Structure 1
Amino acid sequence: MTTPASTPRPTVLFVCVHNAGRSQMAAGWLQHLAGDRVEVLSAGSAPKDQINPVAVEAMAEQGVDIAHNSPKVLTDEAVEASDVVITMGCGDACTFYPGKRYEDWQLDDPAGQGIESVRPIRDEIKARIEGLLASLDIPVQA
């Protein structure tokens, strides 16, 4: 089932502390698998200066380019604008608003890890994104 054109597309915000690995990979997968049917945001409570190069490499292996993304600071406005907020290991540092759909994905942090350790994290994120899309009734685009 496809989302009708008259239905507003949902906004999904991915949050991790540094916005340099997990949340960037999740945003990349969601954009890749959903296209323009979902608005994708990512942010961090203490963003780094650049995306983890090993995360970029792992995603590039799957044909998903996140190399030109940049870490962004988490704002109240981003949380307020989002229909779904997915946190990844930021604990109390992430803003919480009642009434939003929240999920906390417990994922290993790719920071400081080599490509062999980051690939399973990347693959787990993809599987979770596919589940998220199914829950939003949005088919994965080919």
Structure 2
Amino acid sequence: MTDKPIVLFVCVHNAGRSQMAAGFARTLSGGAVEVRSGGSEPGASINPIAVEAMREIGIDISAEVPQLMTTEQVRDSDVVITMGCGDACPIFPGKRYEDWELQDPAGRPLDEVRPIRDDIRARVEHLLAELLPVTA
């Protein structure tokens, strides 16, 4: 295990929202948070429009691959952020859970994915501010 907080981002296909959130968390935390992501029904590949939206702001998620969320990932995480995976996510007492209601970027053009990306960034920034101590 690690001394860093472990955050798991989950959406159905692990191809858009959770991958963007994980990309933000990795980048914005500077490695201070261990980041994981998964899906209840992982897609075959990451959403190319999500990749492009993140590339526009300097975050490369193109090498990420949708993964199946496991019970072990949930159990081992300090914070579990779900994004529309419904009842597919196992619940463990004592964990911090949040459900972020976000539009699914699947099948949407880039101009509709940008606001979703920006919403995710704001939520990740807020989460990191709560998780990480402020250093002077």
Match of 2:114 in 1: 119
1:27-46 to 2 correspondence within 5 Å? 27-46=22-41
* Among 115, 132, 136, the residue aligned to 2:131: 136
TM-score w.r.t. length of structure 2: 0.95
Q: CA deviation at 1:98?
A: 1.3
TM-score w.r.t. length of structure 1: 0.91
CA distance in 2, matches of 1:21, 1:36: 21
CA distance in 2, matches of 1:78, 1:137: 21
CA contact (8 A) 1:11 1:41 kept: yes
Match of 1:3 in 2: none
Match of 1:15 in 2: 10
Q: Which amino acid aligns with 1:90?
A: C
Match of 2:76 in 1: 81
CA contact (8 A) 1:34 1:138 kept: no
Unaligned runs of 5+ in 2: none
CA distance in 2, matches of 1:44, 1:35: 24
Count of aligned positions: 133
CA distance in 2, matches of 1:43, 1:58: 20
Deviates more, 1:16-25 or 1:91-100: 91-100
Deviations 1:26-81 (A, max 9, x none): 00000010021100000000000100000000000000000000000010110011
* Among 6, 22, 25, the residue aligned to 2:20: 25
Unaligned runs of 5+ in 1: 1-6
Aligned to 2:41, the other structure's residue is in SS state: coil
- Return structure 1 stretches of 4+ with deviation > 4 angstroms: none
